[in-house]
Every structure is written in C-alpha cells, then in structure tokens.
Amino acid sequence: MTAHSPVNSFLPRKEFGELLSALRFGGYRCVAPKVCDGAIVYEELQLQDQLPTGISIHQAAGSYRLEITDSPRNFDWANGPQALKPFVFKSTESLWTVNRNADGTITFSESTTEPEPVAIIGVRSCDLAALALQDKHFLNSDCVDPHYQARRASLFLVAVNCTHPSDTCFCASTGDGPVAQGGFDLLLDELDDGFVIRAGSKAAQKILQTLPVEAVTGEQEEVITQQNQRAIKCQTRRLPSNNLEQVLFENLDHPRWQAVAERCLSCGNCTSVCPTCFCYSEQDTGTLDLTRSEHVREWDSCFTQGHSYIHGLTIRADTRLRYRQWLTHKLGSWHSQYGRSGCVGCGRCISWCPVGIDITEEVAAIVSGEP
Amino acid sequence: MTMALHCPAEAEIIAREQETRSIVSLTVRLTDTRLADRFQFQPGQFNMLYLYGIGEIAISISSDPASSDTLTHTISDVGRVSHGLTQLDVGDRIGLRGPFGRGWPLQDVRANDVIIISGGLGCAPVVPVIDYVINRREKYGRLIIMQGVKHSDDMIWRERYEAWGAHPDTQVLLAADAGGKHWNGAVGPVTELFDLAQLPTENSVAFLCGPEPMIRACVQRLLEDGLPADRIWISMERNMQCALGQCGHCQFGDRFVCKDGPVFCYADIRHLFGLKGF
C-alpha cells in the first residue's frame, strides 16, 4: 500500500534515492555524512551508495575510531567532529573589503552572502539543539548577523534520530536528544530495511508527498520505540540537569580548576568541535600592492593567548583561567545570556580533546562541593 | 540613512592634536554628509576606528555630543592599530563604525552631585560627561573632577581642567604619582585627592574610568565613605572586535562589555569586578 500521508510513513531503503532526487528537484544541494580520513564528515552527496553503510564509531575520552559492522544501516553512529556550525557560522567569512583609491580616499564594500539552498541529511538531535542556541546568539534582537541569517535560511534539515550514542554522549541528561523534538524539516527513524519518515515543515510536506512511501506497521513502531529507549539507557555520562550558573561562580577558587589546567593543552580543539561556541576574531588581509584589503572573521577560541588581550594586558594569561572561562560560560553564564546551558551533550569536546579531558567529570568535581 | 554597523564608513581627519609624546587626539568627520548629519551619540559610547589594511580598535568618543557632526577620539599609542592611527595627519582617511554601547546614565542623575574620577587616558571617555554637566550646570549639584596620572608629564588638557574648575560649584583635583617641574597638583595616587574634596554625600553619583587597580581603590574609598554601590558607575575595557555582542572577546561573566557596557553600574558587576580572569 502506498500512502501520501504527512504523518509517519515508511520509506524503503531502496527508495532512499528518491528522497535525494526530490530534494534536488526542490532546489537543494544534498549534503550528507561520508567517511573521510577516519571520521564521519558532512560532504556533498551524489549517490545513496556514498552514505556510510555498516559503520559504527567507538568514541571515548580523547579517542574516535571507526568500526566496520555487517549492519545494513547508514546511521549506526553518533556524530562526527563537526555539527551544523560550519554551515551557518563559517570558519572563515569575509565581512567587508576596502579599496584605497589613488587620491587617498577609501571605499568600503560590505560582503554579502548568497548561499544556495542546501539539504543536510543525517542531522542529530543534539545538533538541532545547538543550532537553536546559535540562533539565539546570532539572530538576537540586539543584532542579527547577516551572513548567519542568510546561511540559516538556506538550510533544509533532514534529521535522523540517534540509535547509537557513543560512550561520550550525554544528550539525554541535557534534554537535547537522542530523539529530535523539533527544529527539523524531515525526521527519520532508521530501520534495517528503510526509514520511518515524517515532516516537520510545510516545505518538507511537499517533498514527502512525492515519495513512494508505505504505511508504517505496528511492528516497525515497536522497533523504533525500543531503539530510542535503548539510545537513552546506554548513555552513562551525564551533566546535572539544574542550572549550574550559581554553583560554578561560587566555586571560582576550586582547586579542580588548577588540576584540569595541568592536563589541558589550551589547544582549543574543544571550542572548534563545540556546536555552540561562537567566538570569532577579525583580521585584515591586504593585497601586495596595498590598494585593497579584505576584512575577514575566523573562528576564535577562549583558549588562545590573544582572546583576552588588551594593550599590554592579558586578562586570562594561564590555562586555569581559560578553562574556567570556557566552563563557567558554557554551563553558567549561558543561562543569563540565553536562558539555558550552552551544552547540548554531544560529547565532541570529550572525544576530540587530545588529552581526554571530560567536561562531565570536571563539572561533577567542581559542583560536588568537595576539593 | 544611518550607518551600517557591520561595515565601516569613511571618515576624514580634520584636526590632529599631539597631546603628549604618545597621546594624539584625532577629530574626524564622516565623508558621507548624510551619515555625518545623522550621527548621534551618548557620552560614554565608543566607535570602532579602522586603520586601512591593519584593523579596528574601540575608542571612546571624547568630544561634545552636542556637536556630533565631528567626533574626537583621544588615542594612546600602545598597539599596532593605535600606533598607526597616531601617525596619521589631517586629510588622511580612516574607517569608522559606531556609536556602540551604553553610556553614562546622565538623565537619571539630575540634581545630584557628580563625582568624576579618572586615571590616565580614562579622562577621555568622561570628557563628554563633564561637557554635558557644565552645559546644564543648574540641573546638577556639585561637580567634582579628579584625575590622576603616573607622571605629571602625562597630564593632558590642563587648560581644560582649569576652565572647568572656574565654573560655579565645580572642583577640579589633579594628582600625579610623580610630579615634574612646575607641577602644582597633588603627588600620589588619585585616592589622595579624596581628602581634598568633601566626598561623598548621599546625594552623589560617581563616574569612574581608568586602570582597574585604580578604579578598585577608588570604589573601595567611595563605599567606605557611604556611597551606595548603585550610585557608582564604571566604564570598562576589554578586547573588542565586533562591537556587536557577537565575537565573544569582551565577555565579562554574562555581560558583553561592548553592548551591555562599556559603562556598568558597580552594583551589577561587583561580584566579578577585580577578580582575576574576568
């Protein structure tokens, strides 16, 4: 039986290519997870075959390893190093260019962003939550970032509920996963022979209506319920669910800050892979003939020496102060700034830390009240 | 037509004053007259000044808000951009974005005694406040201006201070950690001046700008003398790159100094003020 229902439908795996075609017909470039250099990354997808099949990931503190399985599934893994951040907040973005004219006058031209519509397939619930947080920062009432806004508006998000959280994941404790609650255009639950699919936006309803979907069986629903429950239960790490702003700021002199600083390399990997970190620096790149200069922003990190520099004074000269800044902001001041914690439990900062520092362990030590 | 805050507009240097060996005041005018005519700012706000090919820095506006078609910025030669800016001459072009941030709460302090305490180049951001109060002298109580510098050679605007001091109910007190020849001000930190002024009354409000150790010492004195924390206002300085509350560098706890400040009520920031690392 073929149904054209905007509610739950079943898309057989062999028909997944139809979804890609429908998205392309709808004007979207398709981006999806691929295996590249030993990790899952989001890249342009031409064919369904390019999706990772029978790939799992083993993540631990300071470790990320692909594993080959005999599963027919494409999404048997939690996440790669990058979330949606690079699609909306580019690691490098031109802000303006300025020309110096022969008479000494200078002419500014604001850079514009005209991204082509892009459908991102395989978005995780934690990444949707992080995107909502970045929206609060870059699209707030005080200031709307035009580049972020344009890129954000160009996205069509195909989420897939996460069935294989890694050991580093703790989205269940932050309330951000593993099942997506909103913010997607299409939402998929993966089964061995296909996907249960539903629309979360009008644009997605139109696309869904063109797909050769079938009715969902009770048995399929049951499998999904079970795998979603398992994805919650398998998570062993957690963050306290309460607002930690007060307790963190009451513990600024806790000896744990020094203890973690002795392990931390201050490399900034955690801030690069963090889907909510938003700091950027600005710099000029001039042409050799000095007639033109481009003013560019790049991701920055509160772990760098320059981040807190003001003429002759570095506010956070040592790693203890930098780690404390990162954590008190991420789990503390975010609440006052944007009404919730800045952590969505994706666990990337744990996996991609070269020395395996675990945010959940550090925060537990600091808020426990014991030295 | 108002200024696009994401992208600078061209401004021409129309006056340059060498204040000391390393401090220069640049008065600029936006070359687009439509922008220049509409530019308005509050005392305590700042602009982002752009040096061609090098970058931007945040500089407070030190001229009178009543004549905002030209804007004066007093710049100390301490870094790459500020060094380049202090080398420029009349007629040279720079970029300007602004104004940014929240200034001094002048509307709310009518009829109060106003205490202004500054240190070093912290004197620049409070000049528009002094002008504002002097121009509306009858609406405020006493005006007490205290400025401290490391060496008396660093004391800029001596004539201005003299002229301000000649206004009714206005007291100007200057101090230098080290006094050179012909220095007739106090010798020592700016806190030494507290004993020379009758400070504060419960009807006072204090505006402070300068190096943080100096601010801390002065705030301590004001609090000990009975001035409530919510009557003390401080202009803060942090690394600023976007001035839009987005690049993250100027965060001070949960505040973005560029948009929530740079002027803060001490009562709102006292839990972090002076703490290492914030």
Chain centroid to CA A58: 19
For an interface test with A, the pick among B7, B86, B271 (most A C-beta atoms closer than 10 Å) comes out as B7
Q: How far apart are CA B204 and CA B219, in angstroms?
A: 13
Q: Hey, what CATH class is B107-269 in? A: alpha beta
Determine, for residues A337 and B259 on separate chains, whether the beta-carbon distance falls below 8 Å.
no
**pLDDT of A312:** 81
Determine, for residues A106 and B10 on separate chains, whether the beta-carbon distance falls below 8 Å.
yes
Reported confidence tier of residue B181, pLDDT bands at 50, 70, 90:
confident
| Closest CA in chain A for residue B245 | A143
Determine, for residues B9 and A293 on separate chains, whether the beta-carbon distance falls below 8 Å.
no
Identify all chain A residues contacting B120, using CB atoms and an 8 Å cutoff.
none
Identify all chain B residues contacting A315, using CB atoms and an 8 Å cutoff.
238-239, 277-278
* Listed range (B79-88, B200-209, B266-275) with the worst mean pLDDT: B200-209
In this predicted model, what pLDDT tens digit does every residue of A86-129 receive, in sequence order?
A: 999 999 999 999 999 999 999 999 999 999 999 999 999 999 99
Nearest CA distance, A92 vs chain B (angstrom)? 13
As a three-state string, the secondary structure of B129-140 is: HHHHHHHCHHHC
Beta bridge partners of A100: A106
**What phi-psi label fits residue B248: left (phi over 0), alpha (psi between -120 and 50 degrees) or beta?**
left
In this prediction the pTM is: 0.94
Look at residue B208 and tell me whether its pLDDT is greater than 80. yes
Beta bridge partners of A34: A41
Beta bridge partners of A83: none
Look at residue A233 and tell me whether its pLDDT is greater than 50. yes
Determine, for residues B254 and A333 on separate chains, whether the beta-carbon distance falls below 8 Å.
yes
Mean pLDDT across A307-332: 96
Determine, for residues A315 and B238 on separate chains, whether the beta-carbon distance falls below 8 Å.
yes
Look at residue B188 and tell me whether its pLDDT is greater than 60. yes
**pLDDT of A370:** 67
Look at residue A5 and tell me whether its pLDDT is greater than 60. no
**pLDDT of A3:** 38
Identify all chain A residues contacting B56, using CB atoms and an 8 Å cutoff.
282
Look at residue A4 and tell me whether its pLDDT is greater than 80. no
Nearest to B7 among A96, A290, A309 (CB): A96
| Closest CA in chain B for residue A285 | B53
Half-sphere exposure of A164 (CA within 13 A, CB side): 21
Determine, for residues A283 and B56 on separate chains, whether the beta-carbon distance falls below 8 Å.
no
In this predicted model, what pLDDT tens digit does every residue of B134-165 receive, in sequence order?
A: 999 889 999 999 999 999 999 999 999 999 99
| Closest CA in chain A for residue B277 | A316
CB pairs under 8 A between A and B: 123
**Average pLDDT over chain B, rounded to whole?**
94
Reported confidence tier of residue B267, pLDDT bands at 50, 70, 90:
very high
**Cβ(A56)–Cβ(A76) below 8 Å:** yes
Q: How far apart are CA A355 and CA B276, in angstroms?
A: 26
Q: How far apart are CA A166 and CA A26, in angstroms?
A: 34
For an interface test with B, the pick among A278, A296, A311 (most B C-beta atoms closer than 10 Å) comes out as A311
Single-letter amino acid, residue A163: T
Reported confidence tier of residue A2, pLDDT bands at 50, 70, 90:
very low
Look at residue B39 and tell me whether its pLDDT is greater than 90. yes
Q: Which residue has the higher pLDDT, B203 or B215?
A: B215
Mean pLDDT across A133-143: 94
CATH number of B9-100: 2.40.30.10
ipTM of the complex: 0.93
Unique residue bearing structure tokens 């082509």: A116
**pLDDT of B198:** 76
Identify all chain A residues contacting B10, using CB atoms and an 8 Å cutoff.
105-108
Half-sphere exposure of A181 (CA within 13 A, CB side): 9
The domains spanning B9-100 and B107-269 adopt the same CATH topology:
no
The B-side interface with A (CB below 8 A) comprises: 4-10, 31, 50, 52-56, 76, 78-79, 82, 91-95, 237-239, 241-242, 244-249, 251, 253-254, 259, 271, 275-278
**pLDDT of A241:** 79
Query: Could you tell me the residue ranges of all domains in chain B?
Result: 9-100, 107-269
Structure tokens at A43: 């890249």
Look at residue A221 and tell me whether its pLDDT is greater than 50. yes
Mean pLDDT across B219-232: 94
Determine, for residues A98 and B52 on separate chains, whether the beta-carbon distance falls below 8 Å.
yes
**pLDDT of B2:** 66
**pLDDT of B1:** 56
As a three-state string, the secondary structure of chain A is: CECCCCCCEEEEHHHHHHHHHHHHHCCCEEEEEEEECCEEEEEECCCHHHCCCCEEEEEECCEEEEEECCCCCCCCCCCCCCCCHHHHCCCEEEEEEEEECCCCCEEEEECCCCCCCEEEEEECHHHHHHHHHHHHHHEECCEECHHHHHHHHCEEEEEECCCCCCCCCCHHHHCCCCCCCCCCCEEEEEECCEEEEEECCHHHHHHHHCCCCECCCHHHHHHHHHHHHHHHHCCCCCCCCCCCHHHHHCCCCCCHHHHHHHHCCCCCHHHHHCCCCCCEEEEEEECCCCCEEEEEEEECCCCCCHHHEECCEECCCCHHHHHHHHHHHHHHHHHHHHCCCCCCCCCHHHHCCCCCCCHHHHHHHHHCCCC
Identify all chain A residues contacting B253, using CB atoms and an 8 Å cutoff.
249, 328, 333, 336
Percent of chain A predicted with pLDDT > 70: 98
Look at residue A155 and tell me whether its pLDDT is greater than 80. yes
DSSP string across B15-66: EEEE-SSSEEEEEEEESSHHHHHH----TT-EEEEEETTTEEEEEE--S-GG
Determine, for residues A252 and B275 on separate chains, whether the beta-carbon distance falls below 8 Å.
yes
| Closest CA in chain B for residue A296 | B55
Mean pLDDT across B88-114: 92
Nearest to B93 among A105, A142, A333 (CB): A105
Look at residue A1 and tell me whether its pLDDT is greater than 70. no
